[in-house]
Amino acid sequence: MAEDCDILISGGGVAGLTAAAVLGHAGLSVICVDPFAPVTERDADGSDLRTTAILQSAQALMETAGIWDHLAAHAMPLQVMRIVDAGGEQAEPRVTHDFNASDISERPFGWNLPNWLLRRELVARLKELTNVDFRPGVGTTRLFSRTTEARVSLTEGGPVRCRLVLAADGRQSPMREAAGIGVQTRRYGQKALAFAVTHPIPHQNVSTEIHRTGGPFTLVPLPDHDGAPSSAVVWMEDGPTAQSLYHMDVAAFEKAMSERSCYLMGPLELASRRTIWPIISQTADRLVGERVVLMAEAAHVVPPIGAQGLNMSLADLRCLLDLITNRPDELGNVEMLRSYERQRMPDMRLRVQGIDLLNRASQVHARPLRDLRAMGLDAIYSAAPVRRTLMQMGLGVR
């Protein structure tokens, strides 16, 4: 016999757990499943050492749903976003532009949090919601939908009958595949390394993105680690180079990453293990199916530039919540899902295309192209109206 709920969420990553908390807080009955239990300790095997910048609009959504109470004490404010071009003969800054949140807001751009900690605190929030049932270690297998409901088979226990299936189950989404929705994927030949470092020069709440070749090297503020200033690093490089860096001994790696950072924070010391993953862009052909809606990486994947990944995902969630709030009797029906796709598809495509262009520019190796990139960055970011518009777009402000 099928178990009933309003919404079944396939996927218990940061986006899926946030969706469960937000929709549960809104009064809906939610079952959230994921085949893997979340790793919620920094140094445990399999922990996600990437960090996420929660931008202003995403923070407001989390605050409304009671999530921010769990996160505020751990969050590091991001007051300045610094873009550096270091594409000359020597690894040193030649163009630097700062985007200060005070130019458009009284609040920081956002707040940085480690992904493993986000999972830990989101799970804690779900335990407070009696109408949310989080089932780690349980995956989805089959989907059967009709105009009034969907039924989802699970790897453990009986099927679930619901009014809406929310696919937040990643770039290889089982529910997207079960709904027959295709994807367009673009590969760059890049990989990204993620790790934490300490450094002698305080970061002063500045997130720094350094462009040279192969992709950006980004330092994002973290709280002090063992009494020293600390940052999270995402280092994007051509695949073979990234793989070599991943396997490099610690001393050689610390020398390489310090040089790549142009010593802007002084010599960097590794403060965690290294993780590595491939860089792609991906967009779903559709964002909805019968009684199914896609969000987060089931819908869109972008390179880690400009803190857009999770914040695009939470824009998906905010749109869905607004539709549910305004049309509670239409949960999961054709009209609601068409509205969701109509609202989210243009913004999704615009941001994916924009980040694709930025990433391609960051990859260039030839000196003339690097010089052209530096001139372009200088011209664009020096114009005050353009700077303001870019900051507002980055924050999701229209």
Report the range of poorest mean pLDDT among 2-6, 56-60, 147-151. 56-60
In this predicted structure, what is the pLDDT of residue 285? 97
Evaluate if residue 87 carries a pLDDT over 70: yes
Evaluate if residue 144 carries a pLDDT over 70: yes
Q: Domain residue spans in the chain?
A: 3-48+119-185+283-358, 73-112+188-279+361-394
Mean pLDDT, residues 18-31 taken together: 97
DSSP 139-204: -EEEEEE-SS-EEEEESSSS-EEEEEEEE---TT-HHHHHTT--EEEEEEEEEEEEEEEE-SS--T
Mean pLDDT, residues 9-23 taken together: 96
Architecture of domain 3-48+119-185+283-358: 3-Layer(bba) Sandwich (3.50)
Mean pLDDT, residues 5-31 taken together: 97
Q: Which residue type does 131 have?
A: N
Q: Could you check whether 3-48+119-185+283-358 and 73-112+188-279+361-394 share the same CATH topology?
A: no
In this predicted structure, what is the pLDDT of residue 397? 46
Evaluate if residue 22 carries a pLDDT over 80: yes
Report the range of poorest mean pLDDT among 7-11, 13-17, 208-212. 208-212
- Residue 119 structure tokens: 């999972």
In this predicted structure, what is the pLDDT of residue 361? 76
Q: Which of 225, 236, 226 is nearest to 194 (CA)?
A: 236
Contacts 24+ apart (CB under 8 A), 313-316: 313/15, 313/18, 313/168, 314/15, 314/18, 314/57, 314/58, 314/61, 314/62, 315/57, 315/58, 315/344, 315/347, 315/396, 316/344
Mean pLDDT, residues 100-124 taken together: 89
In this predicted structure, what is the pLDDT of residue 180? 96
DSSP code at position 264: B
Q: Which residue type does 156 have?
A: E
Mean pLDDT, residues 262-291 taken together: 95
Other CB atoms within 10 Å distance of the CB of residue 130: 8
- Residue 35 structure tokens: 């085949």
Work out the percent of the chain whose per-residue pLDDT is above 70. Answer: 91
For domain 73-112+188-279+361-394, say whether CATH 3.30.9.10 is its number. Answer: yes
pLDDT higher at 102 or 367: 102
In this predicted structure, what is the pLDDT of residue 92? 80
Work out the percent of the chain whose per-residue pLDDT is above 90. Answer: 67
How does pLDDT run across 296-354, given as a tens digit for each residue? 999 999 998 876 778 899 999 999 999 999 988 899 999 999 999 999 999 999 889 88
Mean pLDDT, residues 19-48 taken together: 93
In this predicted structure, what is the pLDDT of residue 366? 66
The model's pTM is 0.89
- Mean pLDDT computed over every residue of the chain: 89
Mean pLDDT, residues 229-257 taken together: 96
Confidence grade of residue 395 (pLDDT, cut at 50, 70, 90): very low
In this predicted structure, what is the pLDDT of residue 77? 92
Q: Is 111 helix (H, G, I), strand (E, B) or coil?
A: strand
